[in-house]
A and B are shown apart, each in its own frame.
Chain A
Amino acid sequence: MGKYWAVSKTYMKTQLVWRADVLFNMIFTVSKILFAYLLWGIIFQGRETIGGFTFHGMLSYYIISSFLLQIEKSEGISNEIHDRIRNGTFSKYMVIPVGIQKYFMAMELGVVLFYLLFDLIAAVIWILIFHIRFVFTDSLAVVGCAALMAAAGMIFMVQLNYYLGLLTLKYQGINTFLMIKNNLLALIMGSIVPLTLFPEAVINMMKALPFYYVVYLPSMLLSGKCQEEAVRGLFVIIAWCVAMQLVIYVTWNQYIRKYDGVGI
């Protein structure tokens, strides 16, 4: 366990090298908030509620979901694996005495812990600048459940991106697919519009998918909604993590033999 914590600490320190990146990442979180502020500002003119949200409730949802999205930085894992398999340097991870997937988990943990504080500061600043009457649940149990769900959601995203990266062993180039995946996830994770505005049949379908529990449900829970789904949601996302781990195990054993270490 100690060696993985060392990896996490190293990645935390690495972020400090790029201090301007940290600052600009904080500043650019404003684009999502500004989008929500202007779009919903114009939509809410003459309306009290939409889909059960007040204007400030809606902005609170965007603040929380944007915060969660900002600290979820596993997208780089699939790109890293993809690039390294293609140029033959994936061997770097095979010769060091660590489990490769655990290494990426530790890396993600280090980055998340580093950005947690800065993104929290950014969220508070946007709440003050946009004069948002922040809506937040008053139940500690719900906060705990949402935090666990968000953590399990991030583990799932690391698994997913690790799995997608491994597909390079079979398909050689998956860059285009990774970009399409990002576009799709933006919608189905509820970062463009809250999923509660979708038709009920679509919401029910999404409840069976893991992405519902990564950003959307934790954000809804923290803004005081959907509390009856908290415990069930936690079990669903944990079940998805277990299932994904099995898929990774099978994929790794099946495809790693194709890796020859000389690039494509």
Chain B
Amino acid sequence: MKHFKKNLRVLRELFYLRFHGLTVFRLDFFGPFFVDGSLFVMQLLAFGVIYSNVDTIGGWHQGEMILYIGTFSLLNAINMTLYFFGVNGIPYKVRSGELDLYLTKPVSPLFRLSFENISPGSVPLIMMSICIIAYGVHRMEAQLDAVRILEYLFWVIIMAILYYDMEVVIRSFSLYVLSMARMEQIEEAGIDLCMKLPGIAFYGVYKFIFYLLLPYGIMATLPVQSMIGDMDCMLAVYGIFVVGLFSALAHLMWKQGLKRYNSASS
């Protein structure tokens, strides 16, 4: 409890520092919102065009697809707001030796690295995602009760954890190898594909890849399936298992990687 309170205090200070830094470059403040917002708007338009030619995609009507896009947008917004800009800087800090400064401070290095670059300018992206989700639910004409909504929120939270774990796993490679460019390319390609394509489209080897090896395919799919009542017990257990697996992997890779860290010569 004491440790948790200390981390909360650190988080608050990091937020103030970051907010102060961002307001120096005011034009860039809402940059992430405009960039990612436009990305998801284009995606909504693209699927709007497809649905003007077909009724369903893999059994999903337009409402479900809008909900999917909104959910991915929400996960991305949480990622951008809370930890993306922090975790993304890990490879540079390892290469330059700047990680030394984090290891010598009396707070968890990964915690500080993850949350030192919180982006308040991305908060409107969360609002926009909620609007897309509400529109999707409206189009589905679904009757939602509190249990369904809570289930959905539960899956969004644990998938946000999975998103974080995936980012840490990929950036932790910088503690083992010299160049991270390929790993980041794989991440970018995986996210780009799964952002546009719900998990229901995967089968065979593609399902193995995007449900287990690079589980971007389940990130927005499981919350949507829980909302539309398409999730069975096995799928729920599987989802929790994958999140647990990648949390353990992220922890292990980071801890073991730190042992290999030799300051600027890494």
Q: Does A2 count as interface, using CB distance less than 8 angstroms?
A: no
When chains A and B are docked, how far (Å) is the Cα of A35 from the Cα of B200?
13
B194 to chain A, nearest CB (A): 10
Contact check, B27 vs A193: say whether CB atoms are below 8 A apart.
no
Give chain B residues whose Cβ lies under 8 Å from the Cβ of A183.
35, 38-39, 42
Among A41, A51, A192, residue most surrounded by chain B Cβ atoms (within 10 Å): A192
**Do B57 and A39 have beta carbons less than 8 Å apart?**
yes
With contacts A28-B185, A31-B189, A31-B193 taken as known, whether A39 is within 8 angstroms of B31 at the C-beta atoms is no
CB-based contact B201/A38 at 8 Å: yes
- Is chain A's interface secondary structure helix, strand, loop, or mixed overall? helix
Known: A50-B53, A197-B50. A187 touches B45 (CB 8 A): yes
Judged by a CB distance under 8 angstroms, whether A5 is at the interface is no
Interface residue? A180 (CB, 8 A): yes
**Interface residues in A177-191 (C-beta closer than 8 Å to B):** 179-180, 183-184, 186-187
> Which residues of A lie under 8 Å from residue B193 when comparing CB positions?
31, 34-35
Q: How far is the CB of B127 from chain A (nearest CB, A)?
A: 18
Could you say which of B35, B52, B54 contacts A176, with CB atoms under 8 Å apart?
Answer: B35
**Residues 45-61 of B at the A interface (beta carbon under 8 Å):** 45-46, 49-50, 52-54, 57-58
Check if B28 is an interface residue, CB within 8 A of chain A: yes
B197 within 8 A of A: yes
Question: In the complex, which residues of chain A have a beta carbon less than 8 angstroms from the beta carbon of B35?
Answer: 176, 179-180, 183
Q: Is B34 positioned at the interface, with any CB of A under 8 Å from its CB?
A: yes
Chain B residues whose CB sits within 8 angstroms of the CB of A197 once the complex forms:
49-50, 52-53
Which A residues from 17 to 65 make CB contacts under 8 A with B? 20-21, 24, 28, 31, 34-35, 38-39, 41-43, 47, 50-51
Q: Hey, which chain B residues are within 8 Å of A43, CB to CB?
A: 50, 54, 57
A184–B54 touching, CB < 8 Å: no
Known contacts: A43-B57, A187-B45. The answer to whether A176 contacts B197 by CB under 8 A is: no
Bound together, the chains give a CA A176 to CA B25 distance in angstroms of 12
Residues of B205-258 whose CB lies within 8 A of A: 206
Minimum CB–CB distance from B213 to chain A (whole Å) comes to: 14
Number of chain A residues whose Cβ lies closer than 8 Å to a Cβ of chain B: 29
Using Cβ atoms and an 8 Å threshold, which residues of chain B touch A235? none
Q: Mark A159-182, 1 if CB is under 8 A from B, else 0.
A: 000000000000001011001100
* A47: chain B residues within 8 A (beta carbon): 54
Let me know if B261 is at the binding interface, CB within 8 A: no
Give, as a whole number of angstroms, the nearest-CB distance from B131 to chain A: 18
Size bracket of the B interface: 20 to 34
Q: At the interface, yes or no: B18 with Cβ under 8 Å from chain A? A: no
A199 within 8 A of B: yes
Task: Give the distance to chain A from B62, nearest Cβ to Cβ, in Å.
Answer: 13
Q: Name the B residues within 8 Å of A186 (CB-CB).
A: 42
* Chain B residue nearest in CB terms to A198: B49
The CA-CA distance from A63 to B52 in the complex, in Å, is 23
Answer yes or no: B95 CB below 8 A from chain A CBs: no
- Least Cβ distance of B35 to chain A in Å? 4
* Per-position binary interface string of chain B over residues 3-28, scored 1 when its CB falls under 8 Å from any chain A CB and 0 otherwise: 00000000000000000000001011
Minimum C-beta distance from B26 to chain A (A): 11
Q: In the complex, what residues of A have CB within 8 A of residue B45's CB?
A: 187
Contacts of A50 in B (CB 8 A): 53-54
Does A199 contact B42, Cβ atoms closer than 8 Å? no
Partner of A38, one of B185, B192, B206: B206
C-alpha gap A20/B31 in the complex (Å):
32
A161 to B197, alpha carbons, bound, how many Å? Answer: 30
Q: Which residues of B contact A39 (CB under 8 A)?
A: 57, 196-197, 201
- CB neighbours of A175 from chain B (8 A): 28, 31
Q: Does B102 contact A (CB under 8 A)?
A: no
Give the complex CA separation of A11 and B29 in angstroms: 36
Q: How far is the CA of A34 from the CA of B209 in the complex (A)?
A: 12
Q: In the complex, which residue of chain B has the Cβ closest to the Cβ of A199?
A: B52
Q: Is B182 an interface residue (CB 8 A)?
A: yes
Please judge, given known A-B contacts A28-B189, A193-B46, whether A38 and B52 are in contact too, CB under 8 Å: no
For A35, list chain B residues within 8 Å (CB): 193, 196-197
In the assembled complex, B176 has its CB within 8 A of some CB on chain A: no
Using CB atoms and an 8 Å cutoff, list the residues of chain A in contact with chain B.
20-21, 24, 28, 31, 34-35, 38-39, 41-43, 47, 50-51, 173, 175-176, 179-180, 183-184, 186-187, 192-193, 197-199
Q: Can you report 30 residue pairs joining A to B where beta carbons are below 8 Å apart?
A: A24-B185, A28-B185, A28-B189, A35-B193, A35-B197, A39-B57, A39-B196, A39-B201, A42-B57, A42-B58, A42-B200, A43-B57, A50-B53, A51-B53, A173-B25, A173-B27, A173-B28, A176-B28, A176-B34, A179-B35, A180-B35, A184-B38, A184-B42, A187-B42, A192-B42, A193-B46, A193-B50, A197-B49, A197-B50, A199-B52
Given contacts A38-B197, A39-B196, 9 further A-B contacts (CB under 8 A): A28-B189, A43-B57, A47-B54, A50-B54, A180-B38, A183-B42, A187-B42, A192-B46, A197-B50
